[in-house]
Structure formats: C-alpha cells, structure tokens
A and B are shown apart, each in its own frame.
Chain A
C-alpha cells in the first residue's frame, strides 16, 4: 500500500513536470506567433500583396496621323492576337505543339516566340500570332481548354491606309530593339508587342505619338486568374499629329510616277508646308509593322532602285541645269553679267586644254540671261560662272539652302555638296581648277543636292527671296512672318523668274510642251538633265548613244523644278526621275500635272 501511494505520487509529480513542458511549448508557439504576426508583419504584408496584386501596364493608343484635310494616314486598327502566358501553361512545348496544329506558325514566328519566352518573365503574355480573323479566334477559343495559357487578346496595331504612297513620309513602327531599351527607360517599351517609331515621322514624333502608359492593378488568385480590379491609372493617349501633306496630291504624284524611280516634292512657297513628299519606288509600311521576313528585306535592300532610301532627302544628285538660276543670281550680284550681257554660243568652247560642250551641238548664238535660261544654254553659264568665281556661286547656293541639312531634321537627311575652293582643299587636299568652276556652273561635277533642297531653292526664288523653310506640320502665321529676307536684288530675281517662265511658256523653251493655263495661272520652271556617265570624245564624234539604248542605270537623271501661278507663286514643285532620260520629256510633264492638280485642289478649298 505504501508502495502504491508512492506510485500515485510519482505519477502526479511527473505529470506536473510534463504539464510544465507543455506550457513552455505553447509559450513558444505564442512567441512564434508574435514574431510572425507582429514583429515581421510588414514584411509578410508586402509579400502577401506581391502574391495577390498583379500590375499591368496599359498601353495607350498611339497618336493618329492625318493629312492636312483630316484624312487618316496612320491609324490604329483592332487586332486579334493569340498570346501565351507561360506561367499558366502546364507544359509550354506541349501547348505550342497543340497551337501549331490549329494555327500553323512559320519558322521565323517560332524563333521569335522562343526568344520571347526566354526574354520575358513567366507571367508576361507573349504573342503567338496576330492579325487573327474571327474564324481563327473561334477556332482557338474552341480548344483553349486543352491549351492552358493560351489567350486571345484584342489589341491595337498600326495601320497605314495609304501603304506605299506615304511610306517615306511616315516611316513605320516596329518591334523594340535592345538598343531602344538602353536609350529609353519608358516601361511601355518592355510590354510585349510594343511598337516603336523606327523611321520617318513615326520616329521623329515618337514622344508625342506614344503617349504615356497607364497602370492597372489586379487582384489575382494563385493560378493567376483575375479576381477583381484594384486600381486603374489612365495614362494618356498619344497626341494626334496633323501633317501638311495632301493625300490626294500625294496619290496623284504616286500615280504619275508609275514604275519610275525618283522623288517628287510639292511645297507651299510662302509657308514652307510640304503637300507632297514622295520617294519612288516605295515599300508598304504595313509590312514592317508585322515584321518583314529576311528574304523580303534583302530583296528591298538590294533592289537597284533602292526603295528603302528616301530619295527626297537622302538622294544626292547633280542639280544640273536647275542650278543655273543660282549661277545667274550670283553672276548678276557679282556684276559679272547684267541684264543686257550677251554671250555667244557656238556649241563648244575652249578652256585651257579642254573643250567644253553645250548640250546643243550647233550652239544657240548670242543670248542674254533670260534667253540662256529659256534655252538652258551651257556656254552662257560656263562663261558667267567663270567670271563670277566659284566662291561667290557657292555662297549664293547656300543662301538658297543648298548643301545643308534642312529644318525637317530627319535622321537620314543628307546635306549634299556645294563645293568651293576651301572645300576642295579640305576634302580632296588639292587646289581648285578653273575648269571645275565651269562644270559647277551647269550644276555638275562636285555639286550635289537633294530634291528637298531644290524645292526650298525654288520656293525662295518664287516667293521673292524669303528664307522659307520646309515643314511637314502646320506652320504658324508667326513663323511665316519671321522668315528673313535674303536681300537679293528684286530686279535680279525678276530676271531669273522671267527666264523660268520663258522655259515653259515661250516657244523654244525647254519645257514648252508642259505648259498649262489654269484660269490664267501658268507654270514657270527649269529643266535639268544630268549625266551619270562621262561622254567620251570618241562618242561625240561617232554620235552620242541614244538614251533608250543604254542600260537603265547609265541613263540620265531627269529633273524639273518649277512653281505656279507665274504671277503670284503659291506652290513650288521638284520632280526627279532617276535615269529617266530628259528633264523636258520625263520630269516636266509630271511636275506640270502635279502643279495643276495642286492649283485645282487649292481652288476647291477656297470655294
């Protein structure tokens, strides 16, 4: 019994020890609860929010671009695209295989998807295929249960309704490159499928067209399904951009060019607003939005007509006879000639050891400056240039905007070359030769200009010597008022303009066949035909090979610069047809048709 008593006592005392142990263990639990729920609460609250809140960037619609009449020339259209969220797919490869059975993917597409899968985080939707039709969408949705992670999204994609016609004005948007990411920290760039202005106005006005991204905070569950919207910040749509281009005139120019290669510009001589800005041949901007295949791109890149080059600003051409106005003005200003100076042309002249030819083998006889322009006599301008000197000619050319980059500030714009003595010494490390002044006098040799520069030059002649600058966006009244006067003797300008009007409107003028009379408004201008190959002495003796018999790339460039109406100039035009043959036969008719159309359209607006 004694023993049993102690047995009970042991039990109770041991039980109390065990009870104490349990009490301590429960205290540890409470301590742990305190540690997690009070001490570390903030840390876990953040983690909990990271779990449940999924932030997304809302891509703003890109700014629309319209022509001067409000016609959409760059727009956003609804685009159904199939996306893949890797995180939600059980097996990404398997899902891709299933998707391919419904919607075949090209090798390029597949390579891009693989690249994107590596590049983006697992919860970011990756584009599988876009531009889906309703039929495609329903096909995908029908089997979407078997392809977890595949979703159909209706986004916006850039659309260029005028396709090829506006390609060199607008450029295009394309996928973001690694380089863009380095230079631009906008988080929008990291959203998959985002397109950035790659070239042209799309690039130049990227900032304002892009807008600012909004943000969306969503509550998601463990498998990523959206439960509710927590917060939405709007962001801002891209700004609308209104251009000075007239899509009707642009289309007219496009049609007039047919298969020819070259450039055409129509510019308002008083404001500098550009109504037509064409480079031919062109490409379809829409192709680049989707991403062109390597083959297509190579074909465009190595095409001898160079469709990817914007010839209006990046093509450097000898201005040829269209340079003669500048030479005439420089000669008049320098006093090398006056309005009555007559120079005899006999088809050729000796200078040093060289024989310099006029385009007209038998010569023009004695001509004054107006007649020399009308007939585009080379001998007159050899003489005038020689008497004036290259430095004065170059200075005059620069005043007209030649040889320098314009205010358009396109990345690919070229400055061209207006040579003078210092330039030659600097660039070619040799001194200027007298004969080179003669060659420059007819706009050949080292002289290189872009069609845009010629348009500026023509506008400045037509508007009476105001330093108008080209613009693709509306020019304010204030800006027009601020255009400086070039301080050119109005009498000299009048002579040159008379010469230009004679070219078109007098019998024997080089562009007489392209004359028009629209309600009394006439065109004035100047033709230019520039050689791209040297004519040998032997060839001159045996007879110059006819243009049609030469391979395309050896044919002459055809040029025409002009303005209308003759008495109160409004529009200037430049047409350059690469290897087109003669300025009077090929370029002038296009320029004439364009100017007439511009006048008709402007007339309609007035009414």
Chain B
C-alpha cells in the first residue's frame, strides 16, 4: 500500500493546498443543497420521523461525500490508466449478478455491501464513460469518422446494456445506450449516422415490443393513456399528476401534502419524491430544484470547457449527461411526459446505489476540473 502512494498516483504537479484552491465551492454547495432537500423531504415522507429514512439518507450522503472527496484528490492519471480494467471488472460483476440471479431464480440487481447495495449496473454507468473517454482519447478524428472506428465503442456499450436489459432493467439499459449516443455525438460521429440508426430503430420497434416484459408493455400503454385503467397501472401517474397539480403555485406546505401523506401517491420516498416536493412547495419549490440541477449541469459543462485534456473533457460530458438523464427521466416520468421507468431523483430520492454512483461521478468531474491544466496525453 505504501508503495502504491510512493510510486506516485498523486499528482506531482499540484499540492493538496493547490487542489483545494482549485475546487469549485459553488458546485459543492449545490450538491449539498440538493442532499439537504432530500433529507427534508424524506423527513416529511415519513410523516415527521427522522429514523425512517432521513437519517439514513444523511449518513449515506456523508459516506458518499467521503468517497467523492477521495476521488477529487485522486491522481487523474489513475482514471485514464485503469479505465479499461475498471470497465472489465464491472462487466464481470454484472455477469456474476446475472448468473447468481439465474441460479436464485429471481431478478437480482445488486450485491449487498451492508450499508449500500451495490448495483453493478450503476457502477457500469461510470465505468463505461471512462472506458469510452479513454477509447476516443486515443482515436484520431479520421478514425472516429469511419464505421470501423466506432465499432469497439458500440460493443463496449451494447454488451453491458444487453446484460442489464436481461435483469430486467430497461431504464438503466436505455440510459447506458443514450449516454453512449451522446458521447458518440460529441466526439464527432456524423449526424447522418444517427439519422440512419434512428430510422433503423423505428423500423425494429415492433420487434423490440415483442421482447418487452408484460409489465413493461403495461407501463408504455399506460403512459400513452393513463385514464385507461385508473385503479390499476395508470393509478400511479394519475395520482402523481393530481398531487402536482393540487400543489399549485405555493404548495400545501411542508408536511401538509395530502396526496403524499394519505398514501394516494405511491413510492413517495423514492421515484415520486419530486411529486411530493411539488405538492408541498408548489411550482416554486419544483422550479428551484430544476434550476439547481440546471446549474450543476451548466457548471459541469463549463468545467469541461476549462479542462485541457480530451479525456477529462469527455469524461465530464459523459458523466454530466448521465446525471442529466437521471434528472430528466425522473421528473418527466412523474410529470407524465414519459412512461414510468423507475429512475430515482439523485441526491433526493431514498436509495444508496444511485447516491453512491452520482457522488462518485461528481468526484471524478471535480477531479478533472481540479487538475484542469494537467495534460494527460493519449494514454
């Protein structure tokens, strides 16, 4: 271990003091603010009880923050050097979960680590971004513009996506695919190729429909017409809209959300926590949460612009995109804009895995930013 430090993964160019100086404290403030909102909403969700969720959420955040800081102060060469190892290790975990699940005859998505339940699929979101960033960092533009140049990247995305799809976890699989698409777009893959794939996917949609599980089909159908079955599958989204709408401009007040507290709103402490927030704090509270998240994204892209290394830029873009997808999918879902896919609202929803992976992402983003002047080169 001692040797580990000595052989120098710590950046020889920057001292700890300089790294702290380089940190963006507004960014950290936004993160802490969202986590605080989460603690507050979970206190309300448990009808004014700290024990049920709020304290555990705060503890998980604290633990995740430690990991985030550890990552901030990690030598960024480490990320580049071990990107593929990390990717393959995560892939093995995914396969392990898949086999374990098949043997146990139940859908298992996680490995129990005591305080956290580690979902390899969550880990994969980071691992894939790092691996793709490393791959494109080393690939010249001429190669990116050829089909053979992007095939390895596509394989890197589709193998884990297929595994996750089999769990089955459609939401996470689609997030991986979408993040990959955004990375391909930003590295300069021609627009017409996206258009071609778009046409192809549309043509294959009926085939994909056949492979969907019944409950997934229900969700899509229910999304298309929530009133189809107001007491069954459409109940969640209907109740979510009622909660949101009845919140109005100023909301019903903290702890006074009738839809939430009388249990009309399902999953109010996890996937539907944004609904509860909007019911209790109205559109003012809802927009504030959206704005804070928007600022986090805005800062992230600003970090990407200021970062010298291509690997750093792409990693930030990938991880920020991933974060955006969480926010967008979750909020659109509770607003009835897209089908219910079971994606939590990071930092606010109760749940360990997402908290860990999002905080780790922030750690890596900030690490890239802190070492923004370090040129990593191609390897």
Contact = CB atoms under 8 A, between A and B. Distances in A.
A38 B283 CA distance: 8
Contacts of A33: 244, 278, 283, 286-287, 290, 335
A222 interface: yes
Given A7-B310, A10-B188, A29 B245 contact: no
A26 interface: yes
A37 B247 contact: yes
Interface in A343-402: none
Identify the interface centre among B245, B261, B263, B321: most chain A CB within 10 Å of its CB: B245
B317 A7 contact: no
Contact of B262 (A8, A32, A227): A227
Given A29-B331, A221-B263, A45 B286 contact: no
A18 B182 contact: yes
A119 interface: no
B165 interface: no
Contact of A12 (B182, B262, B305): B305
Interface in B296-336: 297-298, 301, 304-305, 310, 313-314, 317, 321, 324, 328, 331-332, 335
A45 B317 contact: no
B242 interface: yes
Contacts of B247: 37, 41
A166 to B, nearest CB: 49
A155 B199 CA distance: 68
B47 to A, nearest CB: 11
Interface size class on chain B is 35 or more
Interface in B310-365: 310, 313-314, 317, 321, 324, 328, 331-332, 335, 337
Contact of B248 (A22, A23, A30, A37): A37
B259 A29 contact: no
B135 to A, nearest CB: 13
Contacts of B337: 28-29, 32
Interface string A16-42: 111100110110111011101110110
Contact of B259 (A16, A41, A48, A220): A48
Contacts of A15: 186, 301, 304-305, 313, 317
B114 interface: no
Identify the interface centre among A19, A37, A48: most chain B CB within 10 Å of its CB: A37
A30 B242 contact: no
B237 to A, nearest CB: 12
A51 interface: yes
Contacts of B242: 44, 47-48, 51
A220 B337 CA distance: 29
B12 to A, nearest CB: 24
Identify the interface centre among B241, B246, B258: most chain A CB within 10 Å of its CB: B246
A18 B186 contact: yes
A132 to B, nearest CB: 31
B249 A37 contact: yes
A23 B185 CA distance: 17
Contacts of B245: 36-37, 40-41, 43-45, 47-48
Contacts of A284: none
Contacts of A4: 140, 310
Contact of A37 (B244, B294, B304): B244
A289 B207 CA distance: 65
A34 B301 contact: no
B263 A41 contact: no
Contact of B328 (A7, A12, A25): A25
Contacts of A17: 185
B276 to A, nearest CB: 13
B328 A29 contact: yes
A503 B243 CA distance: 88
A415 B166 CA distance: 88
B49 to A, nearest CB: 16
Contacts of B301: 15-16, 19
Contact of A36 (B142, B187, B244): B244
B234 interface: no
A14 B141 contact: no
Interface residues of A, number: 43
B264 interface: yes
Contact of A29 (B140, B141, B144, B290): B290
A43 B259 CA distance: 14
Given A15-B304, A18-B321, A26 B259 contact: no
A30 B258 contact: no
B226 interface: no
B328 A14 contact: no
A52 B261 CA distance: 10
Contacts of A219: 258, 262
A535 interface: no
Interface string B257-278: 0110111100000000000001
B290 A30 contact: yes
B38 interface: no
Identify the interface centre among A23, A28, A36, A222: most chain B CB within 10 Å of its CB: A36
A520 B263 CA distance: 82
B348 to A, nearest CB: 15
Given A3-B140, A15-B304, A52 B262 contact: yes
A26 B248 contact: no
A26 B324 CA distance: 9
B255 to A, nearest CB: 14
B258 A51 contact: yes
Identify the interface centre among B186, B286, B314, B321: most chain A CB within 10 Å of its CB: B186
A544 interface: no
A163 to B, nearest CB: 48
A179 interface: no
Contacts of B294: 23, 26
B182 A51 contact: no
Given A15-B186, A28-B337, A34-B283, A22 B313 contact: no
B310 A48 contact: no
A464 B124 CA distance: 112
A527 B183 CA distance: 116
A38 B244 CA distance: 10
B282 interface: yes
A51 B248 contact: no
A10 B290 CA distance: 29
Contacts of A41: 245-249
A15 B187 CA distance: 9
Contact of B249 (A38, A47, A48): A38
B258 A48 contact: yes
A492 B305 CA distance: 127
Identify the interface centre among A16, A47, A220: most chain B CB within 10 Å of its CB: A47
Nearest to A32: B335
B332 A29 contact: yes
Given A37-B247, A45-B248, A223-B263, A26 B317 contact: no
Contacts of A22: 297, 324, 328
B280 to A, nearest CB: 12
A601 interface: no
Nearest to B243: A48
Nearest to B313: A11
A514 B263 CA distance: 80
A16 B282 CA distance: 32
- Leading 5 A-B pairs by shortest Cβ distance: A44-B245, A48-B246, A221-B262, A222-B263, A37-B283
Given A29-B337, A37-B245, A48-B259, 14 more contacts: A4-B140, A6-B141, A14-B187, A29-B331, A29-B332, A36-B245, A37-B244, A37-B248, A41-B245, A41-B248, A41-B249, A48-B258, A219-B258, A221-B263
Interface of A: 3-4, 6-8, 10-12, 14-19, 22-23, 25-26, 28-30, 32-34, 36-38, 40-41, 43-45, 47-49, 51-52, 219-223, 227
14 contacts: A4-B140, A10-B187, A12-B304, A14-B187, A22-B297, A26-B294, A26-B328, A33-B283, A37-B245, A37-B282, A48-B242, A51-B262, A221-B263, A227-B262
